[in-house]
Copies of this chain bind each other. A is one copy, B any other.
Amino acid sequence: MSLIMSRRDLDFMLFEWLDASALTERARYADHSAETFHQVLDTCEKIATDHFAPHNKLNDQNEPQFVDGGAVVIPEVRRALEVYRDAGLVAPGQLYEYGGMQLPAVVEKACTTWFRAANIGTSAYPFLTAANLNVIAAYGEDWQKATFIPPMAEGRFFGTMCLSEPQAGSSLSDIRTRAVRQDDGTYRLFGTKMWISGGDQNISENIVHLVLARSPDDLPGVKGLSLYIVPKFLVNEDGSLGERNDVVLAGLNHKMGYRGTTNTLLNFGEGGHKPGGRAGAVGYLIGGENQGLACMFHMMNEARIGVGTGAVALGYTGYLHAVEYARTRLQGRPAAAKDPTTPQVPLTRHADVRRMLLAAKAYVEGGLALNMFCARLVDEERTADTAEARAEAHLLLDMLTPIAKSWPSQWCLEANSLAIQVHGGYGYTRDYNVEQFYRDNRLNPIHEGAHGIQGIDILGRKVAMQGGAGLRLFNATLETTIGRARAAGDEALLGFAADLDTALARLNAVTATLHGANDLERTLANATVYLEAFGHITVAWIWLEQALAAHGKAGDFYDGKRQATRYFFHWELPKVYPQLDLLEQLDDTTLEMQDAWF
């Protein structure tokens, strides 16, 4: 059994639940078959196992160093990424014309979990590159596509996204980096960007930064932001590298976890790249003036779901490690069999250990299923038959994005904590792997929109957008599942259907109360609570979907799905009621709290 990911579970989600095979009937995916999907998954498992997992701990123990003005990573990272690139895995979901293999998004998502679970640090480089490539594919001018996409798809250039600045993290309104238009139509950028993952490294030939900066007309707030392509090395017309651009590594951030990915402070336009250096980093506008945030959100929405996937992958591998440990570690005896002369039993014989493993299973498989479902929506968004169906998929994905990001970041981190707990003292040591997964995963509630930002997104924006159309679609989607569960003629499913129906009705009533209050400050004060309740209801639905896909099938795997569904409905879903009560009362405890009272 692999300790990285469960291929059995991925196959279940792809082929028994989300019907990935049916996608081969769509034009975009017509060259594929279930067979090619299996082949690419085999390849991913093999490369992740042979080239990514072996240096995961090394990445943690030997974080990137600042040497001669650049970031230096351990050689294992480069070697793994060469294998990855040679297998054509940088952007497997992209169109052939952009170097991709036109894999369905849902298959691509399954692929990515292998690398993230095996080595979150190393895998971040190509994933950022793919997200960057997707923006250029969507918004770039022809010359920009021709210049940057092929070397990125080939893994020769890597990409980054440069949003945050030292004084502007969650508050993008306060970005100060500015772009100055030149007579030749290019721009010169000046400013400092913070928290830039992959902002420098010694792996790729070049780095393509996508930089959010203030447009020349300098409108205030986010309205005045545009997006610019800023390569580390300028690229000549023949594709060869030109002179060094004025982007300088100012420092590396030293993190608690996720250490394999360089995280950088970058100076643009300070002339530090060479003696007498050019004043200003050469940048190329992409997507139009003052369209920066819209373009960046194309990348950010993808990145947010990607954060969720990373959180799932870290939680999942931790869970698999914990199961393996609990099956082999002998300790104590069951509650009702205390004779100390009998042999010790495996940890899995203790109900409390099963509780921890079952909770972790419910979190990681629930989180994975949610992320896979979102990827399946991307396929609908791209290839559904009708414009209406495509728009509907887009809308539902928009609704679910804050959940797909925040829920795994919270609960799969909890799964990592449980994995440590199952290991006892051993889990707290660096001789085992689970403590690293926990440290790595603690990043996920912070980056790509902190947890609280996701709450404001769902309550302040998503449930109200298009006159509530997104929320109605969410309701209709869940109700369809509830209807199928009711029709299945199974007592357990009937119970789950009733529980979900009740929770959903309550969520809607509370949502109406909140929006009816017409008090933005008071309503949004508890947005995080709303996010968490919404998330748990969403994942309960996702578990019901899985239970339906397992319905009528015999065997340990399906029994596990049924038991995890039962766990989620009995142990997890009821947690939303105190949250919904609090929201319904428009509780103002935190709102009224005063700074001086801390």
Contact = CB atoms under 8 A, between A and B. Distances in A.
Interface stretch (A42-50, A87-95, A151-159, A586-594): A586-594
Interface in A549-564: 556-557, 559-560, 563
B581 A567 contact: no
Interface residues on A, range: 35 or more
B439 A351 contact: no
A24 B38 CA distance: 77
Nearest to A323: B598
Contacts of A443: 428
Nearest to A348: B595
Contact of A581 (B330, B333, B574): B574
A162 to B, nearest CB: 14
A55 B222 CA distance: 43
Nearest to A431: B254
Given A340-B173, A429-B255, A452-B352, A592 B563 contact: yes
Nearest to A561: B597
Interface string A326-353: 0100111111101111001010111111
A417 interface: yes
Contacts of A596: 556, 559
Contacts of A327: 595
B560 A571 contact: no
B254 A351 contact: no
A166 to B, nearest CB: 9
Contact of A556 (B445, B582, B594): B594
A428 B344 CA distance: 40
Contacts of A323: 598
Contact of A439 (B169, B256, B578, B581): B256
Contacts of A255: 428-430
A253 interface: yes
A9 to B, nearest CB: 11
A179 interface: no
A169 B331 contact: yes
Nearest to A585: B570
A195 interface: yes
Interface of A, secondary structure class, is helix
A592 B564 CA distance: 11
Contacts of A570: 582, 585, 587, 589
Interface in A85-129: none
Contacts of A169: 331, 424-425
A352 B528 contact: yes
Given A335-B524, A597-B563, A421 B435 contact: no
A577 interface: yes
Nearest to A219: B340
A521 interface: yes
Contact of A589 (B348, B435, B563): B563
Given A336-B521, A578-B574, A589-B567, A421 B439 contact: no
Interface stretch (A15-23, A141-149, A231-239, A355-363): A355-363
Nearest to A322: B598
B221 A589 contact: no
A438 to B, nearest CB: 7
A430 B335 contact: no
Contacts of A594: 556, 559, 563
Given A351-B524, A351-B526, A567-B593, 11 more contacts: A169-B424, A169-B425, A254-B431, A350-B452, A351-B521, A352-B525, A358-B590, A421-B445, A424-B450, A557-B597, A575-B578
Interface of A: 164, 167-171, 173-174, 194-195, 220-222, 253-257, 323, 327, 330-336, 338-341, 344, 346, 348-358, 361, 417, 420-421, 424-425, 427-431, 435, 438-439, 442-443, 445-447, 450-452, 455-456, 460, 520-521, 524-528, 556-557, 559-560, 563, 566-567, 570-571, 574-575, 577-578, 581-582, 585, 587, 589-598
5 contacts: A255-B428, A335-B524, A355-B590, A435-B442, A574-B582
